[in-house]
Structure 1
Amino acid sequence: MASASSSLSGFYAYTDTLKGVHYGPGCVKTALPKLLATVGGKKALIVTGKTLSTATDVVRTVENVLREHDAYGATFYEIGQHAPIAGIRNGVKAFKDVGADVIVSVGGGSPIDAAKAILYFIQQETGGRCLPQIAIPTTISAAEYTIGAGFTNEQGDKSGVASQELAPAGIILDAELTLATPERLWLSTGLRALDHAVENLYRRPVPIPIKYLCYAAMADLFAYLPKSKANPQDVEVRQRLQIASWMSLWPMKNEKHGAVGLSHSLGHKLGATYGIPHGITSCLTLASVVSLKAEVASQQDKEALAAALFYLREESTGSVEGDVRKLASLIQQLVDNLGLKSTLSQYNVPKHDLPKIARLALGNDNDPLVNNVIAVLQGIY
């Protein structure tokens, strides 16, 4: 009875920091000036990655918009995969050197998280308010909707900071700016969004309306990721995927700072340590974790996962556990059909590390699920 009543209780509020999300093909030209005016930004430091800055027109497009409104400061592109701390420190220096008062991040989760960390460290130094970020994502990993910033410390381990103030003040979803994103990165971050949507179904505390957004996100990700692979230049499909990513991780004021669930926790332990992109970690772990949930999850969580079949227009197997296993199978089929299937051995993860990874992901050496999670990792090895 307590379990059922707890699912009907909760709280929802938008993040204090987020002032607006603009979306639509080509919207950056009008959205960026509006958001600059809203947040009071006079001079922007663009934070991005080297490839996006030097090998595409995406960053130049953003630079030109800023120049037209006399708000361009400089472009900083020393942000690598998993946002190494050295790049973040250099970003703090670049922000100060140019006299910036706002960051415009362009790219995937690494530059967006790096921008949060840069602003966090500047705030720690000054003791003032956290300066704003306007995020322009070119992947669908959804880092722009969270209050946390993950980065890689000097030891190569994942670290992070979190604060309500770190949520981007503005977000621009312009699908035209995603056309240069490599296919594997684009599609795998779509699986990352699916990972958010699935794990939010059993995350505590996620209010009921958000869970229905997650079901809608799952349906759109299943529908439009294959279409995007078939026709990568279809901007409308890409725009729908950006919106699905938004629905998969809808901003919540009462957001907890930990991992969304076991698949995410495993991804955090695998990603930075072994150099595996976060989108690919979701391709590796999500289906197997959902399959495990069919055996070990609470009845409430099993029912939440099983209900996804209705939104995916799939027939029930006749049992809750069977439906959860079917969902796991559908996720794996999607990964395979998108050409994203891989193994831990392909990324040179030592087999003897699997027990350690399982324990770190669970956060407790004595967790009763340790052996189950080791078996999951062995299954994707």
Structure 2
Amino acid sequence: MSGLDTNQYDSSNLQGAYAWTDTLRGIHFGPGSTNKALAKLFEKLGGSKALLVTGKSLHDKTDVVKKVEAILKSMNAYGGTFYEIGEHSPIAGIRNGLKMFRENGCDIVVAVGGGSPVDASKAILYFNHKDHGVAILPQIAIPTTLSAAEYTIGAGYTDDEGQKVAVSDPRLAPAGIILDAELTLATPERLWLSTGIRALDHAVENLYRPLIPPPLKHLCYTAIVDLFRYLPESKANPQAVDVRQKLQLASWMSLWPIKLEKYSALGLSHAMGHKLGARYSIPHGITSCLTLAPVVRLKAEVASQEDKEWLAGALFHLRKASTGSLEGDVVLLSKLIDELVENLGLRSTLSQYKVPKEDLADLTTKSVGREDDPTWGRVLKIFESLY
């Protein structure tokens, strides 16, 4: 993968499977892998009937959902399709999905789409457990974006007041994941590329996230390199399935499944994005396009020596010369991220999404946790700069 000349190996070899203990029973990857992988995962999990959970656009405007439905029907395991999942997983859709899940006698969820269907499926299974006193049942995730929600134990959703909240349990992590690049071809370009920046956000913030072991940080370096390389290639040639498959693997590497006791934002960029997204209907990927580069720039001023070293190390892997100082190298990394966002045509502003300037102080407090946080003023300046 990363660091290899693509002319030196056959991209069609990007096929395979990976398994882990506890909740995650298998990750299958490769173009066309859904056809066989879905049946294999059902057999491992002992599922009998699946509710397919997806979004309205994917259901109405593409044939992706129909393809997965056909596979489930051929297995005699189709329990219906629920496609009322909106952006940021509103609670109303989750309640309706849970109702259909129970009425149809389903014992497994197959989520197809981006982060919202995957998170909504986790929430459906969580509330099925909490409200009805049954075990947390399994999910199989078939992502069509690069948001990487399928690798976490938590689910973010929007409550009745329009606030982004979350539920968390180690058993909510999908039991099976299928990375089939062929099913991503219908994903709109802006969604595909912006969720690639979301994956970059995961990889970069994991370099300074507590409790992430060094081997996984080195995996994040590989993800960073591949995202910088293959996102522009995917923009230039959207139908290149091999490039899309490499990006799906980079997304996986950006947020490699790790056993944590509680789901939380990876870092400040994610925290800011969570506060912006649901409140102002800004897509997950776009929030990362807005916040990641300025947050990395802030890290050059406020991060610990160790965190700066990890961030600066990305330049070596990106084959960029050091500036001669840790702070300068971290600033350079932020500039490279900013340039990537610009070159992918993903530049946006808070004014485009009608975020009132009078809300910025409250957004800052909610992002950093308290008004007396030492970075409060600097984070406010970041929000102000995004206009």
Shared fold per TM-score greater than 0.5? yes
Residue number in structure 2 paired with 1:7: none
Distance 1:353 1:126 in 2: 39
Distance 1:128 1:341 in 2: 45
Distance 1:268 1:315 in 2: 34
Matched, 1:292 2:321: no
Matched, 1:230 2:236: yes
Matched, 1:342 2:348: yes
In structure 2, which of residues 74, 89, 96 is the aligned counterpart of residue 68 of structure 1? Answer: 74
In structure 2, which of residues 36, 52, 60 is the aligned counterpart of residue 54 of structure 1? Answer: 60
Which runs of structure 1 show a deviation greater than 4 angstroms over 4 or more consecutive aligned residues?
A: none
Contact 2:89 2:119 in 1 (8 A): yes
Distance 1:352 1:75 in 2: 42
- Deviation at 1:352? 1.4
Residue number in structure 1 paired with 2:39: 33
In structure 2, which of residues 164, 167, 180 is the aligned counterpart of residue 161 of structure 1? Answer: 167
Matched, 1:203 2:209: yes
Residue number in structure 1 paired with 2:274: 268
Residue number in structure 2 paired with 1:6: none
1:368 aligned counterpart, secondary structure:
coil
Residue type of the partner of 1:60? K
In structure 2, which of residues 272, 287, 292 is the aligned counterpart of residue 281 of structure 1? Answer: 287
Residue type of the partner of 2:146? I
Residue number in structure 1 paired with 2:104: 98
Distance 2:202 2:33 in 1: 26
Residue number in structure 2 paired with 1:174: 180
Aligned CA distance change for structure 1 residues 369 and 14 (closer, same or farther; 3 Å): farther
1:342 aligned counterpart, secondary structure:
coil
- Deviation at 1:125? 2.5
Residue number in structure 1 paired with 2:87: 81
Per-residue CA shift, 1:141-184, capped at 9, x if unaligned? 00000000010000000011000010000000000000000000
Contact 1:47 1:103 in 2 (8 A): yes
Contact 1:16 1:253 in 2 (8 A): no
Residue type of the partner of 1:54? D
After TM superposition, the structure 1 = structure 2 runs for residues 250-261 of structure 1, keeping only pairs within 5 Å, are: 250-254=256-260, 256-261=262-267
Contact 2:308 2:330 in 1 (8 A): yes
TM-score, structure 2 length as denominator? 0.94
Per-residue CA shift, 1:118-142, capped at 9, x if unaligned? 0000011232211100000000000
Residue type of the partner of 2:110? V
Residue number in structure 2 paired with 1:18: 24
Residue number in structure 1 paired with 2:246: 240
- Deviation at 1:255? 5.4
1:134 aligned counterpart, secondary structure:
strand
Per-residue CA shift, 1:175-206, capped at 9, x if unaligned? 00000000000000000000000000000010
Distance 1:255 1:348 in 2: 36
2:274 aligned counterpart, secondary structure:
helix
Distance 2:46 2:324 in 1: 56
Distance 1:15 1:310 in 2: 34
Distance 2:212 2:173 in 1: 18
Distance 1:258 1:100 in 2: 29
Residue number in structure 1 paired with 2:7: none
Residue type of the partner of 2:384? Q
After TM superposition, the structure 1 = structure 2 runs for residues 129-140 of structure 1, keeping only pairs within 5 Å, are: 129-140=135-146
Matched, 1:301 2:311: no
Residue number in structure 1 paired with 2:126: 120
Residue type of the partner of 2:253? M
Residue type of the partner of 2:235? K
In structure 2, which of residues 312, 316, 328 is the aligned counterpart of residue 310 of structure 1? Answer: 316
Matched, 1:356 2:362: yes
- In structure 1, stretches of 5+ residues that fail to align are 1-12
Residue type of the partner of 2:334? A
- Deviation at 1:106? 0.1
Contact 2:170 2:260 in 1 (8 A): no
Distance 2:132 2:24 in 1: 22
2:41 aligned counterpart, secondary structure:
helix
Per-residue CA shift, 1:34-92, capped at 9, x if unaligned? 00111111111000001111110100000011111111110000000000000000001
- What percentage of aligned pairs have identical amino acids? 66
More moved, 283-292 vs 345-354: 345-354
Contact 2:108 2:139 in 1 (8 A): yes
1:171 aligned counterpart, secondary structure:
strand
Distance 2:283 2:152 in 1: 18
TM-score, structure 1 length as denominator? 0.96
Residue number in structure 1 paired with 2:4: none
1:77 aligned counterpart, secondary structure:
strand
Distance 1:172 1:115 in 2: 15
1:211 aligned counterpart, secondary structure:
helix
